[in-house]
Structure 1
Amino acid sequence: MSLPIATAQSNGAITPDHDDHEIHYNHDHEPIPPKTYGPYLVSDRRPVFQYSVVRNLFIQSLPEYLVDQKEFNAHYFSKNFGLMLYTDDDKPDWKAFVDKVNELNDQAEPGECYKVFYLARHGQGPHNEAIELYTQAVWEAEIGMKKEFKGLRLGPDPDLTEKGKNEAISIGNIWKTQLQHHDLFEAGALPQKFYASPFTRALRTLELTWSDIVLDLPDAPRVKIRENLRETIGYHWCDKRGVMKEVSDVFPWIELEDGMHDEDKIWTEVREDEECGSMDNRLREVIDDIFLEDGETFISITAHSGCLRCVMRVVGHRLFGLETSRMIPVVVKAKLLPEFKDKIKLPERITGLPYNYTPKIYDSLKRKDFDATPPPTKKVQVDIDLH
């Protein structure tokens, strides 16, 4: 069975009724045209920034010949999120990292800005389990278009498996380790703002990671939902999102993007084609908006493998494959394109946290709870004609 693919020029997708805010130039120049969405959430707004990555702060940002992503993932829990800066007693030096990011912003030219993106992939979902059990080829040929297969509920909008939930808790434990033993909070490296995909598997991952770190605080920040942070659109039922009223009831700490439909009117039976550029364009728009609208420096983004791959490509990072429920920090430089340099004023930098985090003593930090790599899932033979 062949996989139907749509290009960015496809006519079949539904245009969402977004009520987007215009971004005005200063000095009374013309505004950037408001977004008019075409297929797969790709708007007609032109790029605003040139992006690049600071490569000497995290090992995952180094070239492929120096750091292998499979080796990194295999030893992820001992990597301190890949930080390359260490104190004299061989501990991760988050203060030196924050000082360096602040120095980059202090010395930035007009129209330039640096942010730290904590890019987190959701934990294992039933669709990920199906691929592990039956192989990617069988998934694409037979399973992906089903809502259920051999006891696995594949969609729409599946939750995490039990393994996926434990993976998300494990990442939370790593954050707790950095907070409790390595002064990440004192250094000022906690996320100031949280963004997420509208899908349950991403929100459940964020919840289990941050529930007893930030989300349980009396003044916990709202997590901003962006439709464009969703996975590749179409064809697979796992990539059809849920009804947002129901999702909001389960995750009351989210804040929906203006103009989002309650039901998913974007998903079609035709698959979005990553190679045609539509995914890069819609993810670039998210990153553009974050730099245009947010004065915060440290930004958490919880989403999907394909989505994060596009983010990396947009900002100029190497395509670093993340296993389920892995997170990597990426330091991104944005520079206004020449035609916008004298017309757009970037937001003033916001320092400090918008919530009151108090250092805690966490009970669940024994390394045996999260440092072991689970054995690979045993492959299951399925007789399916792939031709």
Structure 2
Amino acid sequence: MSTPVQIPSDEPAVPAIPVEVTETDPIPDQPIPEKKYGPYLVSDRRPIFQYSVVRNLFLQSLPEYLVDQNEFNTQYFSKNFGLMLYTDDDQPDWKAFADKVNELNENAEPDECYKVFYLARHGQGPHNEAIEQYTQAVWETKIGMQKEYKGLRLGPDPDLTDKGKNEALSIGNIWKTQLQHHSLFEAGALPQKFYASPFTRALRTLELTWQDIVLDLPDAPRVKIRENLRETIGYHWCDQRGVMKEVKEVFPWIDLEDGMHDEDKIWTETREDERCGSMDNRLREVIDDIFMEDGETFISITAHSGCLRCVMRVVGHRIFGLYTSRMIPIVVKAKLLPEFKDKVKLPERVTGLPYNYTPKNYESLKRKEFDGTPPPTNGTKKVQVDGVDKH
């Protein structure tokens, strides 16, 4: 039996599925346009789905007045990825979570479905280190347009720092703990499909997180690269990607999307403006494609802070800032807009894992210390988060 976290009675209850967003104006009867890439990957393809978020399964999906993002990030290692469902003996109940998501899909209309997105930000890169050392203002006005600064290689396409690599390993250790001690595997909540940004810092994070969990399996899944999952485009050298032929030699387990150029033909010396909507458009296109093409429910996406911020905005999730290498799951409902209801058939739902995973007896499940963050003693720890009694 699962016992969900109780929201204080003096606060309004948060509905599991909020009111859907306003539908767009009807468009003429025509096929879905092909993707078009402008200088900032701006697509003129119209939205295909309306999105909403299931808000009562994870702490990070609750409103800001209940859960503060900085407090969550600071206490991240005791939160079991923010899961709010617990067994009677105070263990995170991944089975109850997976059962709930499966139930939502089983009861969904033919033109709607639910997916779990594991949104992971890459670990610390040298550009993140530079911002920490010299401030954001100095980065924007002095450092960002340099390829190297005081021993820091800033671009193009920098790798993780040593701290960033330890951060990624630590997130992998949390996954191991949930798999070994909290029945995440038995619940069927491992990622069925992996997507990633084409940048080395994102791929290195994914590699270090998953290398001895999934990526070293004989039938390990391929990781799908989407150009649109890249960070804000232009100006900063850290946001110019590498040559994909060379990147693929380092990470042979990736598959590039069709039509992707070997060299970065998109980066310019001008900066993409998130406020103009181009980032939202390109990230909406990725999410639309995942819902149209993938029958899998549990999807891993490893990318960047600005990119993930846009994903959250597109699907109607609160903007939840993540520290480097943090990962949060969110549960998203997609419903075809009326004009596409008879044109798009959602894929059949895929159950089970496409790879043969068996829980291993890891030599150590303790999370490594980094940046002064102590490893928890037993995977769970009771904490108080803005009035929500949470383990």
Tell me the SS of whatever aligns to 2:123. coil
- Number of the residue aligned with 2:144: 144
4+ residue runs over 3 A deviation: 367-372
Aligned to 1:13: none
5 Å-filtered alignment, 1:120-199, equals 120-199=120-199
Mapped contact 2:231–2:307 kept (Cα < 8 A): yes
Cα RMSD of the aligned pairs, angstroms, is 1.2
Which residue of the partner structure matches residue 291 of structure 1? 291
**Structure 1 position 265, deviation (Å):** 0.4
Work out whether residues 174 and 367 of structure 2, in 8 Å CA contact, stay in contact via their aligned partners in 1: no
Whole-angstrom distance in 1 between the partners of 2:272 and 2:238: 14
Aligned partner of 1:241 in structure 2 is: 241
SS of residue paired to 1:206: helix
- Give the Cα–Cα distance (whole angstroms) in 2 for the partners of residues 176 and 272 of structure 1: 38
Alignment of 1:318-329 (within 5 A): 318-329=318-329
Q: Show the counterpart of 2:26.
A: none
> Unaligned 5+ residue runs, structure 2?
1-28, 375-391
Contact 2:122 2:205 (C-alpha < 8 Å) held by counterparts: yes
Secondary structure of the corresponding residue to residue 221 of structure 1 = coil
* CA displacement at 1:367 relative to structure 2: 4.3
**What displacement does 1:372 show?**
4.8
Structure 2: which amino acid aligns with 1:236? H
In the aligned structure 1, how far is the partner of 2:369 from the partner of 2:362? 13
Instruction: Give per-residue Cα distances to partners, 1:217-254, cap 9 Å, x unaligned.
Output: 00000000000000000000000000000000000000
Question: Structure 2: which amino acid aligns with 1:297?
Answer: T
Change beyond 3 A, Cα 1:75–1:371 = farther
The offset of 1:266, in angstroms, is 0.3
Distance 1:330 1:372 in 2: 28
State how far apart, in whole Å, the 2-side matches of 1:126 and 1:160 are: 7
Offset of 1:43 from its aligned partner?
1.5
Q: Which amino acid in structure 2 is aligned with residue 279 of structure 1?
A: M
Amino acid at match of 2:313: R
What secondary structure is seen at the aligned counterpart in 2 of 1:319?
Answer: coil
Q: Distance in 2 between matches of 1:185 and 1:66?
A: 30
Q: Which residue matches 1:60? A: 60
Inter-partner Cα distance in structure 1 for 2:368 and 2:301: 27
8 Å CA contact 1:198, 1:230 repeated in 2: yes
Q: In the alignment, does 2:28 pair up with 1:32?
A: no
Partner Cα distance (2:368, 2:252) in 1: 32
CA contact (8 A) 1:165 1:205 kept: yes
Residue 114 (structure 1) aligned with residue 114 (structure 2): yes
- Residues 1:209 and 2:209 are matched in the alignment: yes
The equivalent residue for 1:228 is 228
**Partners of 2:111 and 2:335 within 8 A in 1:** yes
Partners of 1:337 and 1:252 in 2: CA distance = 38
Deviation for aligned residue 1:364: 2.7
Are the counterparts in 2 of residues 114 and 331 from structure 1 also a CA contact under 8 Å?
Answer: yes
What is the percent sequence identity of the aligned residues?
Answer: 89
2:289, 2:38 → 1: CA distance?
Answer: 18
Deviation at 1:368, TM superposition (A): 5.7
The answer on whether the counterparts of 2:117 and 2:331 sit within 8 Å (CA) in structure 1 is: yes
Q: Which residue number corresponds to residue 363 of structure 1?
A: 363
TM-score (structure 2 length as normaliser): 0.87
Question: What's 1:43 paired with?
Answer: 43
- Distance in 2 between residues matched to 1:151 and 1:370, nearest whole Å: 22
- Number of aligned pairs? 346
